[in-house]
């Protein structure tokens, strides 16, 4: 199987499957999935996360949950393929940024690193610059919900509204929050509404 064929198959399953994680877990052992650039995704399985915020375990486990959450709501997105690839690649920056500091697992700036890596990944398969940029921007800003709600200095509402669609960020962010063990759906929905209200003021 060529890399392009595998990419095309992933596109198909991201769009048409109720649970894309089943296909993705099935191809995990495929030799092609271990080669560049797919290894950028596969390496997330070697990347641990803080058990406080991610009881589901490593980044791959989390990503599979997020992709399945995204599949449930993709019809609400303005561009389903952009949205689903953003869900799959949203934490692609964690393998490069994850560190253990004072006994805690951190992944500072994984959103910004992930934006660059998502462009690199997708550029291997398509020349559609608009598509690549749209995915990259969703990856770049997917942490803004947390930053905005908590009033952190990392928040960048102006840049986010210039570069992407806050409704798409909200939808991806909800899937990100629900795609973890022990998530509180009602609370996360409330957080998304707060985020949107602040951004629209």
- Torsion, CA 179, CA 42, CA 28, CA 2, rounded to 10: 130
Residue 201: pLDDT band by 50, 70, 90 thresholds?
confident
Tell me how crowded residue 31 is: count the other CB atoms within 10 A of its CB: 8
Confidence tier at 142 by pLDDT (50, 70, 90): very high
Domain count, the chain: 1
Helix axes 20-27, 3-16, angle to 10 degrees: 160
Domain ranges, residue 87 = 3-200
pLDDT at 30: 94
pTM: 0.97
Mean pLDDT across the stretch 182-193? 96
Q: What is the mean pLDDT of the chain?
A: 96
Write out pLDDT tens, residues 86-102: 999 999 999 999 999 88
Distance CA 22, CA 10 (A): 11
pLDDT tens-digit readout, 28-72: 999 999 999 999 999 999 999 988 888 898 999 999 999 999 999
* Nearest CA-CA partner of 93 in 111, 105, 77: 111
CATH code for the domain in which residue 194 is found = 1.10.3210
Q: Give the number of other Cβ atoms within 10 Å of residue 46's Cβ.
A: 11
């Amino acid at each position: 199987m060529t890399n392009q064929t595998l990419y095309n198959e992933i596109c198909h399953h991201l769009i048409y499957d109720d649970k894309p994680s089943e296909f993705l877990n099935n191809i995990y052992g495929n030799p092609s999935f271990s080669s560049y650039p797919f290894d950028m995704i596969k390496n997330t399985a070697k990347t641990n996360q803080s058990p406080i915020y991610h009881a589901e375990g490593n980044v791959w486990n989390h990503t599979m949950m997020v992709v399945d959450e995204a599949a449930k709501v993709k019809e609400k997105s303005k561009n389903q393929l952009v949205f689903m690839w953003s869900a799959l690649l949203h934490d692609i920056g964690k393998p490069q940024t994850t560190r253990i500091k004072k006994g805690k697992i951190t992944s500072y700036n994984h959103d910004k690193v992930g934006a660059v890596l998502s462009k690199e990944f997708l550029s291997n398969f398509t020349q559609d610059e608009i598509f690549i940029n749209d995915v990259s921007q969703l990856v770049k800003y997917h942490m803004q919900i947390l930053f905005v709600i908590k009033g952190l200095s990392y928040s960048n509402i102006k840049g986010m509204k210039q570069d992407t669609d806050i409704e798409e960020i909200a939808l991806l962010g909800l899937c990100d929050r629900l795609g973890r063990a022990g998530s509180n759906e009602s609370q996360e929905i409330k957080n998304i509404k707060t985020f949107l209200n602040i951004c629209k003021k």
